[in-house]
Amino acid sequence: MNLTDLLKLYGDVQEHEPMSAHTTYKIGGTARWFIQPRSVTALMRIMQLLDAENIPWIVLGRGSNLLVPDGAWPGAVINLDYTFNDCYFEPDGILYAQAGCALPALAVEAMKHSMSGLEFASGIPGSLGGGLYMNAGAYRSDLSSILLEVLILRDRKVEWVSREDLDYSYRHSAFQEHRDWTILAAKFQLEKSDQNRIRQLMASRQQRRMDTQPLDKPCAGSTFRNPGDMPAWEIIDRLGLRGRQIGGARISDKHSNFIVNAGGATCRDVMALIDLVKTEARRVFDVDMIPEVEIPEWTA
């Protein structure tokens, strides 16, 4: 039995899968395997099979903060979104949620249970696992502010790790230095609140996103972290780069910290704009612009 047939014992497997179908940018080359494990046991066995053949692998969420390089990749992309998506709400505000849960759906479920704390996440189009990886946030809140523990797979062991041991800060976590740690689930502390108040707050914030962000174009959300007192969009505006286009990638006219796929964009096009902003910000303002979008190691 060849490797592909073995992998199919443990999950749904697609070969030579275009990653443009799995990222909100609609950009990316092909992965040799795209795998959706059926369980934690299956996930562990899949990783074991890949490691035995020295095949590189990455875990992908919903692809909402990801810029996948062009070209073919001889590795495997493991996706947890469709099998690791259960959530459980306890009366005292404790929430257990698996890594594949969509953040907007999780926020809606919290609202239905009259639990406050996830309103900020209602407009973040990613998975919980991806959100924990980058400490996703909005409106001066982030996931680490309500997080208690994360269930991870590392060194072939499944264990709970407390928030204090995961080095959380603005758009950062220990997972970014430990790519071999796989997020499986998390435990949060929410607060009981009025359901109508939560619903109204989520609706107003969603309307604000629609009014200020280019949600009609494929993109990956905010391109750069805010470097300090001056927000990233203002730096880009002062550089005169709003609306600048290279190939099919364009700095949005609606919100200049968004680089959008204006049609047929490649990873190279987006990277050219990212590099342009970084170079000009360093030259004019002596500021280092750090990308918020994740760019995986992907050697064609």
What phi, psi does 165 have (nearest 5°)? -95, 10
Which is the catalytic residue, given 171, 199, 238, 268?
Answer: 171
To the query of whether residue 171 is one of the catalytic residues in this protein, the response is yes
Which is the catalytic residue, given 20, 114, 222, 256?
Answer: 222
DSSP SS3 for 283: helix
Beta bridge partners of 95: 89, 188
DSSP SS3 for 56: coil
Let me know if 94 is exposed, middle or buried by CB neighbors in 10 A (0-12, 13-18, 19+): middle
DSSP SS3 for 271: helix
Q: Where are the beta strands (DSSP E) in the chain?
A: 11-18, 30-37, 57-60, 73-79, 87-89, 94-98, 115-116, 137-138, 141-142, 147-154, 157-162, 182-189, 191-192, 245-246, 249-251, 259-261
To the query of whether residue 193 is one of the catalytic residues in this protein, the response is no
Closest CA to 134 of 272, 293, 263: 293
To the query of whether residue 177 is one of the catalytic residues in this protein, the response is no
List residues with catalytic annotation. 171, 222, 292
